[in-house]
Chains A and B, each alone.
Chain A
Amino acid sequence: MAGQSNPDLSVFSAPEVEFLAEDEMVEIVPNIRMEALNMICGDFGPFFPQIASKVPLWLAVALKKRGKCTIRTPEWMSVERLTQVLEAERESPREFQPLPFHYVEISRLLFDRAHDDIPDLYMVRSLIEDIRDVRFHKVETGLETISGRTHAVKLKNLSAMEVNIVRPFMVRALQAFYRHDSPQMIQQPRTMGSRQPQVVDRGPRRDLRPR
């Protein structure tokens, strides 16, 4: 979407969002024995072969890369659950279904690094793509309802990556509406301090479009 390459507006780069997602916990089944890890981010292990253990995603991926474990696909990434979510998404045009905040990044990482651990891989992948499409379409439709009166937007259940993609455009759009809908506020160019007393009463508003 527009503004993605502008760091001022996009705030987080996609790799940074993934970095945040990598701290989410997943279950692994190690095939080795390893002592407990006392890390800055937490304590994990000790690890025994065939005994499931919870670790952060980055750790799971590192172990998997070296062939030391398999990763247990999270519950929400099953064909049944995802089909339910997809149907619900299609049936409610204005609500987003609850999904893990980092579902995009988690599924992406697992597809890339642990695809052999995911049952029904192609089905799961296709379901998640469809879910992403439906949700993003809802975001776009929602953007059309922004007007000068929009002083707050509620985006319940939107996920991290979706937030990051839509952020630059939404911020610019809301800013533009906020500024242009206040005829009595004195327009100040960005770099100048606006120390004149702000007129808070924004005056009578006119709807430009009949609703």
Chain B
Amino acid sequence: MASGSGSGSGRWSEDLETEAAMAMGTTDVELLKRAWRNEKAAPEILQFEAALVLRAREQIQLLEETVEEFTENGVDDLVVSLYQMDLDRTLFLLRSYLRIRLQKIEKYMIHISKTNLWNRLSEQEQRFAKRCTDIMEKHLGQSVLSRLPYGYQSILKQSISSEEDDMVPEPQLDTFVFCKTKNAVGAFQLDDTGDEIVDLVADDLYVLRYKSIKGLVESGRIDLV
């Protein structure tokens, strides 16, 4: 049932990712925790972990059914309550992960719809974002924009003389984040001019601008804390 660390679970898994994770001794809960932490700390929305979420849901469902069976068969209360705690903890992680993403979508819905951040959303999130933007546009249009003078009625631009969409809130990528790297990255250039170089040692804690390490976070080489 569990993708335990190296202790041979009975489930035959064809998912290469799961096999690789199990071979490394990382449980899905660990991966979910990591995704949750990164998502919480990052200013912009990150890539949706579709495979991980699917596996987590399957395991949660399996455990829910097992707990039901146990209760019906009169298994010891203690054991049932412990499994229930495990279930609650995993559910919390999953829900919190999904919620923080929804929060980000609500905050930056227009920006996400108009850039390639859209591809980081799951199908359901995309539908949510679309409905959100439609509702928001309609609401703002009816209550405010339609009553503004001509030329100022766009939800995207301050006025028709704006060259770009300057009314769209964007996530602040140059905010500072706390991070740790599992394996040494070595000398890393933080900015474009090469003025700022930092030696990233394994397991040390750093506070850096998110923009500089965006790529490392996305490739999984650095964890946000």
Interface residues in chain A, defined as those with a beta carbon under 8 Å from any beta carbon in chain B: 11-12, 19-20, 22-23, 34-35, 37-43, 58-59, 62-63, 66, 68, 151-158, 160, 163, 167, 170-171, 174-175, 178, 190-193, 195, 200-201
Contacts and interface: CB of A to CB of B under 8 A. Distances in A.
A151 B209 contact: yes
Contacts of B56: 40
A41 B89 contact: yes
Contacts, number: 130
A178 B174 contact: yes
16 contacts: A20-B33, A22-B89, A37-B83, A39-B82, A40-B59, A40-B87, A42-B5, A58-B89, A59-B85, A63-B82, A152-B206, A156-B204, A156-B205, A163-B178, A174-B207, A195-B164
B176 A43 contact: no
B117 to A, nearest CB: 13
A200 B28 contact: no
Given A42-B27, A66-B78, A193-B170, A153 B206 contact: yes
Interface string B145-178: 0000000000000000000111111101011111
B140 to A, nearest CB: 14
B2 A40 contact: yes
Contacts of A59: 82, 85
B191 A151 contact: yes
A15 to B, nearest CB: 11
Interface size class of B (residues with CB under 8 A): 35 or more
A167 B207 CA distance: 9
A19, A39, A62, A154 — most chain B CB neighbours (10 Å)? A39
B21 to A, nearest CB: 13
B24 to A, nearest CB: 14
A193 B164 contact: yes
Nearest to B158: A192
A195 B168 CA distance: 12
B56 to A, nearest CB: 8
Interface in B40-69: 40-41, 56, 59-60, 63
Given A152-B198, A155-B205, A178-B209, A41 B79 contact: no
Contact of A190 (B63, B85, B90, B172): B172
Contacts of B164: 193, 195
Given A154-B204, A158-B205, A163-B225, A193 B92 contact: no
Nearest to B196: A151
Contacts of B9: 38, 43
B102 interface: no
B90 A41 contact: yes
A117 B187 CA distance: 46
A149 to B, nearest CB: 9
